[in-house]
Structure 1
């Protein structure tokens, strides 16, 4: 009995010591002071509860991973035989004045973030909801003659997933090179027979995941991008993953509200370059492509900027992208996002936009797909209303689209949410367009969504029972991980 008590005491002391050591690690490596405090306090106070979660989720960015990813990108650039990256286009100082959409200082900052210039002569088409999105994607895949690149965060082995698999197998059998990349965390339920059947049919399939053993304990770094490229001439980007819920066929979140875009023109090569970097990271090989044909500008004046972001960036690309767009606005800032857990700097940018007299609106879902995120988002929503932002909740079903509309001509659509995970942890992808006609289409789409939404009133928070308000404040403590 004495030995049992001694063993239990030793185990408790060991866990407590590990908690203290982990707390020092959190203080040194957490990327925000809030995250450092949250982890350090919990690791010291209740290490029995938080030590294992910290092992999996703790440091959002560690040096080994970042260096490996950057080195991998450099090697890929040197090894590539084709001109597969971005087309050359100098950003002239008069560019902003010529388009009249964003000032030249905002354009310069955005191109620095993207590490590439705007491309002109593009066409972009809005695809509203899953039926339109996958009809367009599948039709484009059916027409492929050389190669297709397919990348999703979530792929399910359901009716939609099997339809995608059948198309990819048919194209591979016809001699088209098919590259299929999926995230290992987002698609953790994807059965092995799904990918094995693709490989057996000639499709190159890889899982995006950390390659080193120690990184396998990290669930933070997720490739959240959704990207399809067909023959280097047509690309699809947006919020949809591959699953019947994205078709609006999965209660209780149905009907699912989401947005994708179809891109034509030189911007497709920029999007293709994003896939190639991810593919090289997963495989250490460059996809075999036809000799690169420059995408001739279309008879259009749309300027596009492809903004990939991730934890290996030299700076927080995704967060700075949103902040710069908000700061550049002179008339309105309309945002649609499923998750609203803003960084303090982003919240300040929104508050200042309100003070400048701008029309600032944020559209959120009225239904929850992740309880903790929803409760934290609700509290931040009330804070935003208190700051003068107009918050609206979409009623019909779950809202998953990621859309930003600035003034009369700038619109951004892609995979990034307004939360810390997109800002600092996930690999994301946004496409910024500068075109008055397209912005008008986005405006019309958002106005239709606003008509199906209810405004959030500050009085709602006051009427909530104390236990609910406590839950929301507790949920906000997890903001660095959400």
Structure 2
């Protein structure tokens, strides 16, 4: 009787979740097959995993709130959203315009008249950012995925406290998972006591709605800083020291940061406002100030903001578009590489047609799972002519994408399925020869500290390693 009952329970569990998986139109064939395998071989564990991590959604309430927030922001700030029709011609060659159109999410389109400075190193970026906060006269908005209780974390918190005490309006957002310790620390309380307005993005709450209709690991991975509505910081750097105390054996974390002025700053401020309103539950403030003054010699740029409440597939579509537009050269650095078929095929296709495609990954990754999945794609990339290098001197955390030394994408997005589907990300797409050349030269510095990976190296891997890599890659679509 017990055996019969277990057999019935097994069959009903597999059947129920199989139907739910088949009813989902948003799943790729690979992800659907991966879930079927999990349900077939481990139905009870698989059912729990699916309830916690299977649905790429934050629930209907959040999606409705997101739509309401952006409807109000568009009505208030239409000029700040930019215009592809008005700003592309004369600022971006016809051959690269498609990338800006592909990057348009939630109404963000091209702005003209921007300028930027590439920081020489991460330490300089940290010092300059604090200086900007100390010089703020009106407002400061910051959002970090990871905010640590280290020197950088304390310095930024103290700068915000000083700014609030002298009358500057300060808002700060920290992700509920990446900054879970910091939002419970004395520094968070001290900022609140000083008048800094605080909220936590996607707090970890175990509620029925989350379990049934969402997944617990959807995160806000953005890094946004806006000062006085005229300066923004964009790049890969969290609010943490390079030693990255939570994972010190992989240190230093190697990041890249831009300090930007111009109309695109208003877009970053709107993106921050959307996150603030979505997570705090407040209404759109009537005092929201957007300054979109440009520079006569500035370049074209626009915010690219993706996330689980945005258009599905926006990030791989943009990456594939940029690869398709490349005529001579593409250089990409990313710490995490788990592509979907769209991006993988676009990388191989670019190399086949003669584009010099170079990819730079860390030699030692802080995630064994991600490293294994990444390695499973090495053979295919190398056979099609893509050049692969592994960075030796720390964990290369910079997310950079340059095309023909003319077009750049820089920000928080990794080339992995988490950034494609699960995380809220923020990047800036820009067209400028000088700035892209500077980013390209930084990429060359990464290459000078990297070892090439050849097809012979991959062929020398043991059978057990190759099997492990491919097993992880098989379930990659549901990780």
TM-score (norm 2): 0.91
Distance 1:440 1:17 in 2: 59
Within-5 A mapping of 1:132-147: 132-147=124-139
Map of 1:182 onto structure 2: 174
How has the CA–CA distance of structure 1 residues 69 and 220 changed in structure 2, closer, same or farther, with 3 Å as cutoff? farther
Distance 2:152 2:98 in 1: 44
Distance 1:169 1:14 in 2: 57
Map of 1:433 onto structure 2: 430
Map of 1:125 onto structure 2: 117
Task: Give the Å deviation of 1:288.
Answer: 4.6
Within-5 A mapping of 1:148-167: 148-167=140-159
How has the CA–CA distance of structure 1 residues 256 and 250 changed in structure 2, closer, same or farther, with 3 Å as cutoff? same
Distance 1:95 1:84 in 2: 20
What is the DSSP-based 3-state SS (H/G/I as helix, E as strand, rest coil) of the residue aligned with 1:61? coil
How has the CA–CA distance of structure 1 residues 157 and 20 changed in structure 2, closer, same or farther, with 3 Å as cutoff? farther
Task: Give the Å deviation of 1:183.
Answer: 1.1
How has the CA–CA distance of structure 1 residues 34 and 244 changed in structure 2, closer, same or farther, with 3 Å as cutoff? same
Is residue 373 of structure 1 aligned with residue 370 of structure 2? yes
Alignment RMSD = 2.7
Task: Give the Å deviation of 1:92.
Answer: 4.0
Task: Give the Å deviation of 1:21.
Answer: 1.5
What is the DSSP-based 3-state SS (H/G/I as helix, E as strand, rest coil) of the residue aligned with 2:229? coil
Maintained 8 Å contact 2:99/2:321: yes
Distance 1:268 1:294 in 2: 8
Within-5 A mapping of 1:320-469: 320-469=317-466
Distance 1:208 1:438 in 2: 32
Task: Give the Å deviation of 1:12.
Answer: 7.3
How has the CA–CA distance of structure 1 residues 248 and 49 changed in structure 2, closer, same or farther, with 3 Å as cutoff? closer
Which of 197, 200, 212 is the aligned partner of 2:190? Answer: 197
Map of 2:53 onto structure 1: 57
Distance 1:21 1:426 in 2: 28
What are the Cα deviations for residues 23-56 of structure 1, in whole angstroms up to 9, with x where unaligned? 3222322521111111122113212332222221
Task: Give the Å deviation of 1:304.
Answer: 0.6
Maintained 8 Å contact 1:101/1:410: no
Distance 2:317 2:254 in 1: 26
What is the DSSP-based 3-state SS (H/G/I as helix, E as strand, rest coil) of the residue aligned with 1:87? helix
Task: Give the Å deviation of 1:58.
Answer: 0.7
What are the Cα deviations for residues 94-153 of structure 1, in whole angstroms up to 9, with x where unaligned? 935654374444444444x46333111111111254312211211111111111111011
Unaligned runs of 5+ in 1: none
What are the Cα deviations for residues 211-248 of structure 1, in whole angstroms up to 9, with x where unaligned? 89345332232111000111111011211112234669
Maintained 8 Å contact 2:266/2:290: no
Paired positions, count: 473
Within-5 A mapping of 1:11-160: 13-14=8-9, 17-29=12-24, 31-61=27-57, 64=60, 67-74=63-70, 76-77=72-73, 83-84=76-77, 86-87=79-80, 89-92=82-85, 95-96=88-89, 99-100=92-93, 102-111=95-104, 113=105, 115-160=107-152
Distance 2:200 2:10 in 1: 34
Task: Give the Å deviation of 1:205.
Answer: 1.1
What are the Cα deviations for residues 437-473 of structure 1, in whole angstroms up to 9, with x where unaligned? 1111111111111111111111222211221111111
Unaligned runs of 5+ in 2: none
Map of 1:216 onto structure 2: 210
TM-score (norm 1): 0.90
What is the DSSP-based 3-state SS (H/G/I as helix, E as strand, rest coil) of the residue aligned with 1:134? helix
Which of 304, 310, 313 is the aligned partner of 1:313? Answer: 310
Distance 2:60 2:252 in 1: 42
Distance 2:123 2:408 in 1: 22
Is residue 206 of structure 1 aligned with residue 199 of structure 2? yes
